[in-house]
Amino acid sequence: MQRENQTKFILLELLAVCFCASSGVFVRYSALGPVNTAFYRMLFALPMLFLLARKDLKGIDRSDILRLLLAGVFFSGDIILFNLSITKTAIANTNLFTNLTIFTVVPVSALVFKEKMPKHLITGAGITLAGVVLLVLGKAEPSSSGYVGDLLACGASVFYGLYLLVSYRLRERFSGHVITFFCIISCLVIMPLYIVPVEGFQIPRGFAELWPLLGLAVCLQVFGHNLMAYCQGKVSVNLSSIICLTQPAVAAIYSLLLFGERLTLMEIAGICIVVVGVYLVKHQYSEQNAETT
């Protein structure tokens, strides 16, 4: 498919990034625990996904269902760790570290699917590591909680990378709506395993507690993810990867305006260096895949 990279689609993808970057804001505003918040996000999105996927649900056998639910296991791990990270470190940090999925996708693809490693993987990883060190050491108010939050966000990126690898193979046979529908079912089963012993089930009471949950379901699931999927069919993969890497910057603006979270110059430098390292690997990986298809 020829992608023309028209300005209107580039602007639409930037808008999608803005919607996706808002997830941390809604988690912060939620009066519920972080995993309770994630649970209700999935619960509210389930009816919409069922309506979108119902025509494609016929003829799926038991083994297929197990594979689809496996993707959801990884997806739920990503969401749980992401939401926990938001409560412990800066929103910009969480969005940045969860963008490190390429460093899970590439090695696992090489080991499991026998794909070639990008030639600049080590260089990109080294640049990214240098940026991460700057980012971590450059905190204005260092705390053990902040470091734990950064580590949780890195864990989220590993789970999301594994989800991408499983869903990539599933996408050859199933629509994106079907995959997401079963992922949400997995999340609704797995999340209570954390909620019950740690947070306890919480019920939103009144609009003040309900609106952040609805905001997550609408802004992230309805607008953010769907708009992103649409634009990626209109914008080249390399340009799309650059646009997506603006998400930490958008999240930093949100956190500054809404929560007064200021980044030090060292943190800003770290973010820029990490983005360069991640893009270098993503660019090489995309070019390599294009050559083999």
Alpha-carbon gap, residue 234 to 196, rounded angstroms = 43
Alpha-carbon gap, residue 218 to 225, rounded angstroms = 10
What pLDDT is recorded for position 262? 85
Q: What is the CA radius of gyration of the chain?
A: 19
Identify which of 254, 181, 281 has the alpha carbon closest to the alpha carbon of residue 20. 254
Give me the average pLDDT of each 10-residue run along the chain (293 residues): 72 90 92 95 89 85 88 93 92 86 82 75 85 82 84 93 84 82 93 96 93 90 76 69 80 89 87 86 67 54
Instruction: Concatenate the DSSP letters of all residues of 168-204 into one string.
Output: HHHTTTS-HHHHHHHHHHHHHHHHHHHIIIII-----
Cβ within 8 Å of residue 245, ≥6 positions away: 99, 275, 278, 279
Whether the CB-CB separation of 126 and 274 falls below 8 Å is answered with no
Q: Which position has the token pair 């972080």? A: 34
Element (H, E) at 269: helix 265-292
3-state helix, strand, coil in the chain (%, to 5): 80, 0, 20
Cβ within 8 Å of residue 275, ≥6 positions away: 96, 99, 131, 245, 248
Alpha-carbon gap, residue 109 to 102, rounded angstroms = 10
* 284: helix, strand or coil: helix
